[in-house]
Amino acid sequence: MNKSPINTSIKLPCGVTLNNRLVKSAMTERISNRRYESTKAHEIMYRDWSKTGAGLLITGNVMFDRKHLESSGNICFDDENMLPKLKKWAEAGKSTGNHIWVQISHAGRQTNKFCNGNPLAPSAVQLKKLGLFGKPKVMTEEDIQNIISGFSKAAKITKEAGFTGLQIHSAHGYLLSQFLSPNANKRTDRWGGSLENRSRMLIAIIREVRKVVGAGFPISIKLNSSDFQRGGFTEEDSLEVVRMLDREKIDLLEISGGTYEKVVFLMANENQADVKESTKKREAYFIDFARKVKSISNIPLLITGGFRSYNFCNEVLKNEELDLVGMARPFITNREDIPGFLSGKVPKLNNIVLRTGIKQFDDAAEGGFYAKQLIRFSKGKMYDSEIGPVWSSIFLVLHEIKMALSKRF
């Protein structure tokens, strides 16, 4: 293995070292059993990802509240009785000496109707997306304290199961992202209004989680650069939150962007009107914002979205524009090529774009296509490039209904 920048190790503030700078970022997996537990399928999929040579694997959304899933197939870290199964998953995921971190999340108003018709949220602001999301209930002080405790308990289970770190999901319009956004958070108490108040829940969770896992266990935060919506969470807001996170001494910051209403994190950048021309030419979605983060913070920085070429990954790492390169979909479309990519033998990975011709269904087509591939991977099958966009968008809805019904009866 050559020692290009992507193949150099990095020591995190907590003292933990990652073997290289390539990260498999989180993707929703939708393969839990009826009891919201991990299965042999997770072991199969993560053992194969471990073999790619990536220094860090981050799991898809792991929840701690069964009434607030982002997908009917989510795992729920709410019961220590599932530890034996989780330990097998963790062992498989770190089988070649890499790290595997759990992404802990709460869906809030982005809980679909198949799971909960009236989910908890900061305010009663309904998500308008194909009629799939119900009117949320405003969270009480007790609800908020329960959420903080839920993150903490999930973190405890994460460490006890043998996972090597965790990520708190505060992006993509999920609950903590909702608290940060003026569009979704209309509260007038200490949890709303000013950015300091809107950030209070995230900071409280970080502090409680740190108490549980200790100083030597990696804590990462996933944060939006922006919601890309008028009146929402802005770049200026995000930079101020980064300053707050700097004071909390977290170990890794991952930057992304968008919500279910503006799926910048999912759709290919050449089709995003909001993406600057300079960014399109430079491949990665959030690279311009990364420069701003680097100017104000010393937190190791992970950027996910758009990276496809070996030379570009090494360029931005060498220039210290970021510290780690995150990829998600290439770990599906090019899973077998990742070792060659790390060695420089594979210069570029695929960038698959799926379109139905109906704009409202395009993100469902993207989501469904990759969901189907992950299910194939969990069964030990290979990537199938022939699955079409229309069927993919239909599959996503049908799979959610099927999984929801299987757990209800």
- What interhelical angle do 141-161 and 200-213 show, nearest 10? 30
What integer pLDDT is reported at residue 239 of this predicted model? 97
Contact at 8 Å (CB) between 254 and 223? yes
Measured between alpha carbons, how far is 405 from 98 in angstroms, rounded to an integer? 36
Using CB atoms within 10 Å of the CB of residue 243, give its burial: 0 to 12 exposed, 13 to 18 middle, 19+ buried.
exposed
Return the structure tokens found at 288.
Answer: 């311009």
CB crowding 116-127: b at 16 or more within 10 Å, else e: beebbbbbebeb
Residue listed under structure tokens 């229309």:
390
What integer pLDDT is reported at residue 129 of this predicted model? 75
Q: Report which residue type is found at 375.
A: I
Measured between alpha carbons, how far is 21 from 10 in angstroms, rounded to an integer? 7
Adjacent-strand bridge partners of 18: 10
The beta strand positions in 69-199, using DSSP E, are 75-76, 99-104, 120-121, 137-138, 165-170
Measured between alpha carbons, how far is 92 from 34 in angstroms, rounded to an integer? 22
Residue ranges in the chain modelled with pLDDT below 70 = 1-2, 130, 261-282, 357, 359-361, 408-409
What does pTM read for this prediction? 0.93
Residue listed under structure tokens 């420069």:
291
Full set of structural domains in the chain with CATH: 5-408 (3.20.20.70)
